[in-house]
Structure 1
Amino acid sequence: MLKGNFFRGLGYLGEGFRLIRQPGLRLFVIIPLVINVLLFGLLFYFLAEMFAGLIAAAMGWLPDWAWLQALDWLFWLLYGAVILLMLAYGFVIVANLIGAPFYGYLAELTEKHLTGQEVTTEDSWAAIVKDIPRVLLREVQKILYYLPRALGLLIIGLIPVVNLVAAVLWFLFNSWMMALQYVDYPADNHKVSFKALRGLLGDTRLSAFGFGLPVALAAMVPVLNLVVVPAAVCGATAYWVRENGATRH
């Protein structure tokens, strides 16, 4: 039986957008935001032509059945949705690899704000530099978790008719990954292993999907996906404090 509260989970991203406006948190929102703007510009430039090529190639693999050809617009839409989801999370992976040290510290400051502790940024740069090896290793763990599952879904998505289910599975998987990606920052601050975190989120799976759903949607919207990352970090920290993280560790 699924536990948690889907609608409560939906509210955490909105709370994250409110939190990034707090004076003590703004600096560690602005710096990764600038990085994301530069990164997104480069990715958009290199992937714009690739996207059209991938769609054309996928359509070329369809068998020459009349009823399938009549539905070519639907398959184009489904393949486009799958690729867009891949690119959305691909952007998140690269952005988080670069910004991870800032996001871990942002999660720490956000948790202090939410729990009524003093928010101070003294020795912040030293703390960020010291944590770089650990947070990068954690990002690699998330990528290794993501890639084989994404590959399996991609293969399913290339099978005509079955890809109708694959598009839905992709969206659910991305929602789960977005929750896992961002709640990991406050969890890592508490030295909770990645495996243990998956169990914690599984205990409140409905809340996790509720949080990950709007993040996954926002990650697919140009410009909005630039600001959603720090907001998701703050929202995930609120999730950690109120759901099943800080209350159990």
Structure 2
Amino acid sequence: MLKGNFFRGLGYLGEGFRLIRQPGLRLFVVIPLVINILLFGVLFFFLGELFAGLVAAAMAWLPDWTWLQSLDWLFWILYGAVILLMLAYGFVIVANLIGSPFYGYLAELTEKHLTGQEVNTDDSWASIIKDIPRALWREVQKILYYLPRAIGLLIIGLIPVVNLVAAVLWFLFNSWMMALQYVDYPADNHKVSFPALRRLLGDTRLSAFGFGLPVALAAMVPVLNLFVVPAAVCGATAYWVREKGATRN
């Protein structure tokens, strides 16, 4: 039986957007935001031709059946949605690789703001720099978890008719991955391993899907996806503070 509260999960991203406006958190929102703007500019330059090429390649797999050809427009929309989801999460992966040391500290400051308790007494810039290798390895673990599952869903999405289900599975998978991606920051601050985090989120799976769904959708929207990353970090920290406590009840 699925546990958690889907609608409660939906509210955490909105709370994250409110939290990033707090004076004590703004610096660690602005720095990675500037990095993300530069990164987004480069990715946007190559996005058009890559998108068109991927859709054309996927459509070429369709057999020349009359009733399937009449649904070309539907398959184009489905393939386009899947590819857009892949590109959205790809942007998140690269942005998080670059900004992960800042996001870990942003999660720490957010938790202190929410609970009034210190998470880590060493808050110097030297500590942030020292944590870069560990933070990058944490991101690599998430990529290694994501890639084989994404490839499997991509293969399913190339099968006519079955790809109707694949699009739904992609939305569910990306919602789950967004929850894993961002709740990992406060979890890492508490030395919780990535496998242990997956089990913890599994205990409140409905809340995780509720949190991850709007993050996944926002990541697909140009310009908004620049701001959703720090907001998701703050929202995920609120998720950690409240949902982790709920798993003990």
Deviation at 1:241, TM superposition (A): 0.3
Relative to structure 1, the CA distance from residue 106 to residue 121 in structure 2 (aligned partners, 3 Å threshold; closer, same or farther) is farther
Q: Is the 8 A contact 1:187 1:245 kept in 2?
A: no
Superposed CA deviations along residues 164-211 of structure 1, whole A, max 9, x for unmatched, are: 000000000000000000000000000000000000000000000000
CA distance in 2, matches of 1:73, 1:202: 37
Relative to structure 1, the CA distance from residue 245 to residue 190 in structure 2 (aligned partners, 3 Å threshold; closer, same or farther) is farther
Q: Compute the TM-score of the two structures, normalised by the length of structure 2.
A: 0.96
Segment drifting more, 114-123 vs 160-169: 114-123
CA distance in 1, matches of 2:81, 2:94: 20
Relative to structure 1, the CA distance from residue 195 to residue 122 in structure 2 (aligned partners, 3 Å threshold; closer, same or farther) is closer
Relative to structure 1, the CA distance from residue 138 to residue 246 in structure 2 (aligned partners, 3 Å threshold; closer, same or farther) is farther
Q: Which runs of 4+ in 1 moved over 4 A?
A: 118-123, 245-249
Partner of 2:101: 101
CA distance in 2, matches of 1:119, 1:176: 26
Deviation at 1:145, TM superposition (A): 0.2
Segment drifting more, 51-60 vs 189-198: 51-60
Deviation at 1:119, TM superposition (A): 10
Could you list the runs of 5+ residues in structure 2 that have no partner in the other structure?
none
CA distance in 1, matches of 2:13, 2:182: 11
CA distance in 1, matches of 2:226, 2:91: 10
Relative to structure 1, the CA distance from residue 184 to residue 152 in structure 2 (aligned partners, 3 Å threshold; closer, same or farther) is same
Deviation at 1:248, TM superposition (A): 5.5
Relative to structure 1, the CA distance from residue 203 to residue 226 in structure 2 (aligned partners, 3 Å threshold; closer, same or farther) is same
Q: Is the 8 A contact 1:107 1:237 kept in 2?
A: yes
Superposed CA deviations along residues 81-124 of structure 1, whole A, max 9, x for unmatched, are: 00000000000000000000000000000000000247999853
Q: Is the 8 A contact 2:119 2:190 kept in 1?
A: no
Q: Is the 8 A contact 1:241 1:247 kept in 2?
A: no
SS for the counterpart of 2:201 is: helix
Deviation at 1:47, TM superposition (A): 2.2
CA distance in 1, matches of 2:145, 2:26: 31
Q: Is the 8 A contact 2:112 2:119 kept in 1?
A: yes
Q: Is the 8 A contact 1:182 1:236 kept in 2?
A: yes
**Fraction of identical pairs, as percent:** 90
Q: Is the 8 A contact 2:108 2:119 kept in 1?
A: no
Relative to structure 1, the CA distance from residue 129 to residue 117 in structure 2 (aligned partners, 3 Å threshold; closer, same or farther) is same
SS for the counterpart of 2:245 is: coil
CA distance in 2, matches of 1:231, 1:80: 26
Q: Is the 8 A contact 2:203 2:247 kept in 1?
A: no
Alignment RMSD: 1.9
Partner of 2:47: 47
CA distance in 1, matches of 2:247, 2:112: 14
Q: Is the 8 A contact 2:108 2:120 kept in 1?
A: no
CA distance in 1, matches of 2:204, 2:120: 31
Segment drifting more, 43-52 vs 233-242: 43-52
Superposed CA deviations along residues 17-53 of structure 1, whole A, max 9, x for unmatched, are: 0000000000000000000000011011112211101
Q: Is the 8 A contact 2:111 2:119 kept in 1?
A: no
Deviation at 1:127, TM superposition (A): 1.9
Relative to structure 1, the CA distance from residue 247 to residue 155 in structure 2 (aligned partners, 3 Å threshold; closer, same or farther) is closer
Count residues in correspondence: 249
SS for the counterpart of 1:244 is: helix
Q: Compute the TM-score of the two structures, normalised by the length of structure 1.
A: 0.96
Segment drifting more, 46-55 vs 83-92: 46-55
Partner of 1:149: 149
